[in-house]
Amino acid sequence: MIYAKNGRFLLGGNGFSYAMFVDGQGFLQKLHFGGKIQPFDLDFLISGIGKIQEPPQDNPNREGYLDGMPSECPFWGRIDTCEPMITAVRSDGGVVSRFVYSSHRIYDGVPAVQGMPRARGGGQTLAVTLKDNFSPVEVTLNYTVWDELGVMVKNCEIANGGGDPIFLTRAFSFCCDFTDERFDVMRLWGDWGKERSPEISALAHGVTRLQSTRGVSSHQTNPFIALIKPNCSENIGECYGFQLVYSGSFALSAELGNKGQTRVIGGINDLNFRWKLDENERFVTPQAAICYSDEGLGGMSRAYADFIRAQIVNSKWVDARRPVLVNNWEATYFDFGNERLFPIVDEAARLGMDTFVLDDGWFGKRDDATSGLGDWFVNTNKLQGGLKPLIDRCKQRGLKFGLWFEPEMVSEDSDLFRAHPDWIIGKSGFEPVRQRTQLVLDFSRGEVVDYIFGAVSDVLKNNDIAYVKWDMNRYLSEFYSSALPADRQGELAHRYVLGVYRLAEMLTDAFPDVFFEGCASGGGRFDAGMLYYFPQIWTSDDTDGFERAKIQWGTSLCYPLSAMSCHVSACPNHQTGRVVPFSTRGNIASLGATGYELDLTKLSDEEKSQVAEQITEYKQIDGLVLQGDLYRLSSPFDSPFFCVAVVSKDKSRAYVVGERALTLPRDVNRIIRIYGLDDSKLYCVRELNLTASGAALKTAGLVAPKTGDFGSWTWHIEQVADRAGNKK
Ligand code: DGJ
């Protein structure tokens, strides 16, 4: 719902309202973001909070008093000394702007954001255009809301209305100000193998900036930030989430100003960003997905999960059954031929899997990580007869076949590099940084993207491939393109991301029946941008059953379980060396799109029967896991227990997985309260053979079973009757 009258705007989604007004100076100010209010409340807001935001009427230098005004588009060089949203350098070197309201329009649907991931449709959009008093620059702020979603989407378009070129040195997607409220700030930090760890700290005065400068959204900082009221916990209290639908270098900052005001702002990272905008050109920023929850962090996560599933993930795949697969990477690494792969295929079929995925090493001259990237043709020394015999073997055993690519990369020891040494990012004559001995292709160049599209398409056209794993194993460096003029070098990082999106769009359009999984050295590019093209992403290279639980917990704060690809791997774990029971590895991997990543032929008979059982069990609950609502019940970050429940939308079923870290002497009974069920319904907990109401399961809880170190358990909960005794 969007209401607009006399320079007052009210937007509403599921459980929240967002209000703005145009003040006496023409500035667009925020009035409210939080619980639902009505259009008639706008008068009250303007006469109350709006008044204190207006400058004193009798002061001749009124704008000098506006520092701290909750601005929808803060600009540089005048009234507002906190972080600006847009800085545009003009031909005379001047940067000062003064953006005031010019016009607005409301329309059904979402803004056209070409060539980038975006909300897909429905809803209603308010577009407010502001013009600069000092230059021909115009900014259009887009706000899209959906009645049924607890998330709104914001972005902006910046136009050079005439005259000389301008250079955007900052073009953020959104700004959201709060007047005099105290918050804690939450981020998801990490590194390779330990992605997306939640960290909460008090928001101190000054700027708290989260960013990636690596060309990808990164393992280290996810493009997400949340402001949390001090009394907010998992199930109660208010919080605000801000998530970018973007996969490249980004910045998100929260600033506590000296007047007590808080500003959250962000978008494409402005470090080394300089975008030339010729006359009449527009720059469109990525979208930001903004969420308000008064049901704690859990409410925010569920709102984000619903939004990503409804608006970001391709509807063809969102509810599709995910294949239970085996991937050969940790089983063989680069050392394979059909003689090693066939037995894995055979075993996978016997154990009930659906798909075999051949990982790195099948192409070019690729026996280790030093060569071959870019040469997307089969290495027939390793795979005699090409992929066909292996694919035939899969088919004969009733399995589909999946294949790994790393489209954005090239090895110096490759035919592609020898033919096109200038196709890399970097300046010739300067020694490039090599990570994993590879270089990054310059995807800002159309011909490079087109070539890779052709090469990958040939493999997909000529083979029966149902699944593609798209990997990306290094960050960007040298940020220089031999195809861009000097005054456009600051565009490279964003143009690279646009090239990645273009290839992803072309491939997913050309092969609509192929299921794509994203990956970036584990979870180095786990963001809503990539989820637009790839319905699931390899969550982390760390598959240790204990560490993985933490990674999945953190990831679930703003992404749905259906986005997480989760595998059972061998022990001792290849990343941590830890030994975790097989059942625990299976239980943790069941909380997403499950699979296996180990040498099935080396499993004991006991383990094989566990795999078969895990798959049978998973196929009973996969719909619930992928489509249900997540309730996090016990945090592995501040207790020895990890426990989460996935509850079906109709609240008739729930699936609970718990894991204990290290056992302690004289451990007391640990109660886990089950949230998310219907208080008035009766449920049976299969494993405990007991019946209780949803209210009892929430308020009294269940006792966590005793397990050894890293032991785990599941509770399958089914509705049996309502309070009146009516069976369902
Ligand atoms: C990194 C990925 O995260 C792994 O799963 C595997 O595909 C390797 N790359 C292959 O090089």
pLDDT in tens, 86-98: 999 999 999 999 9
The partner residues of 254 in beta bridges, in order of sequence, read 264
User: Closest ligand 1 atom, CA of 597?
Assistant: 5
- What residue has token string 């209210």? 695
pLDDT of residue 728: 55
CB environment 618-646: b (16+ within 10 A), e (fewer): beebbebbbbbbbbbbbbbeeeebbbbbb
If you average pLDDT over residues 446-464, what whole number do you get? Answer: 98
- When pLDDT is cut at 50, 70 and 90, the band that residue 666 belongs to is confident
Q: How far is 348 from 356, CA to CA, in rounded Å? A: 8
pLDDT of residue 645: 98
Residue of 469, 473, 537 with the most ligand 1 atoms within 8 Å of its CB, for mutation: 473
543 Cβ closer than 6 Å to some ligand 1 atom: no
Query: Strands 400-405 and 355-358, how do they pair?
Result: parallel
Sequence-separated (6 or more) residues with CB below 8 Å from residue 702: 671, 672, 674, 685, 688, 715
Query: Strands 239-244 and 137-145, how do they pair?
Result: unpaired
387 Cβ closer than 6 Å to some ligand 1 atom: no
- % residues pLDDT > 70 (the chain): 97
Question: Are 218 and 248 spatial neighbours (Cβ–Cβ below 8 Å)?
Answer: no
Sequence-separated (6 or more) residues with CB below 8 Å from residue 224: 187, 188, 241, 242, 243, 244, 252, 557, 558
pLDDT at residue 635 above 80? yes
Tokens for 201?
Answer: 């700290």
Q: How far is 695 from 676, CA to CA, in rounded Å? A: 10
User: Closest ligand 1 atom, CA of 519?
Assistant: 3
The partner residues of 727 in beta bridges, in order of sequence, read 721
Tokens for 695?
Answer: 């209210």
If you average pLDDT over residues 296-324, what whole number do you get? Answer: 97
What is the helix, strand, coil percentage profile of the chain, to 5?
25, 35, 45
Sequence-separated (6 or more) residues with CB below 8 Å from residue 725: none
pLDDT at residue 727 above 60? no
- When pLDDT is cut at 50, 70 and 90, the band that residue 667 belongs to is confident
The partner residues of 440 in beta bridges, in order of sequence, read 409
- What residue has token string 């008739």? 652
pLDDT at residue 49 above 80? no
541 Cβ closer than 6 Å to some ligand 1 atom: yes
The protein residue whose alpha carbon is closest to atom 11 in ligand 1 is 360
330 Cβ closer than 6 Å to some ligand 1 atom: no
Closest alpha carbon to 440 in 496, 397, 387, 395: 496
Q: How far is 175 from 70, CA to CA, in rounded Å? A: 9
If you average pLDDT over residues 391-404, what whole number do you get? Answer: 98
If you average pLDDT over residues 371-383, what whole number do you get? Answer: 97
Q: 559 alpha carbon to ligand 1 midpoint, in Å?
A: 21
Tokens for 222?
Answer: 């996810």
Closest alpha carbon to 51 in 65, 34, 61, 40: 65
Question: Are 704 and 643 spatial neighbours (Cβ–Cβ below 8 Å)?
Answer: yes
Task: Enumerate the active-site residues.
Answer: 471, 541
Question: Are 211 and 246 spatial neighbours (Cβ–Cβ below 8 Å)?
Answer: no
- What residue has token string 């809301």? 145
pLDDT at residue 531 above 70? yes
Q: Give residue-wise pLDDT tens across range 606-617.
A: 999 999 999 999
329 Cβ closer than 6 Å to some ligand 1 atom: yes
Residue of 469, 538, 569 with the most ligand 1 atoms within 8 Å of its CB, for mutation: 538
- When pLDDT is cut at 50, 70 and 90, the band that residue 64 belongs to is low
Q: 409 alpha carbon to ligand 1 midpoint, in Å?
A: 13
Q: How far is 541 from 655, CA to CA, in rounded Å? A: 25
Q: 471 alpha carbon to ligand 1 midpoint, in Å?
A: 7
Q: What are phi and psi of 216, to 5 degrees?
A: -125, 165
Q: Note the maximum CA span of the chain.
A: 87
Closest alpha carbon to 26 in 66, 84, 81, 60: 66
The protein residue whose alpha carbon is closest to atom 9 in ligand 1 is 521
522 Cβ closer than 6 Å to some ligand 1 atom: yes
521 Cβ closer than 6 Å to some ligand 1 atom: yes
User: Closest ligand 1 atom, CA of 329?
Assistant: 6
User: Closest ligand 1 atom, CA of 359?
Assistant: 7
Sequence-separated (6 or more) residues with CB below 8 Å from residue 96: 75, 76, 77, 78, 134
Q: 330 alpha carbon to ligand 1 midpoint, in Å?
A: 9
pLDDT of residue 723: 56
- What residue has token string 């053979």? 689
pLDDT of residue 602: 97
pLDDT of residue 724: 61
Say whether 551 sits in a helix, a strand or coil: helix
pLDDT of residue 56: 62
Residue of 191, 471, 472 with the most ligand 1 atoms within 8 Å of its CB, for mutation: 471
Residue of 541, 569, 575 with the most ligand 1 atoms within 8 Å of its CB, for mutation: 541
Tokens for 673?
Answer: 């309260």
**Nearest-5° Cα angle at 356, 416 to 337:** 60
- When pLDDT is cut at 50, 70 and 90, the band that residue 52 belongs to is low
H or E element in which residue 500 lies: helix 492-510
- When pLDDT is cut at 50, 70 and 90, the band that residue 58 belongs to is low
359 Cβ closer than 6 Å to some ligand 1 atom: yes
Say whether 382 sits in a helix, a strand or coil: coil
519 Cβ closer than 6 Å to some ligand 1 atom: yes
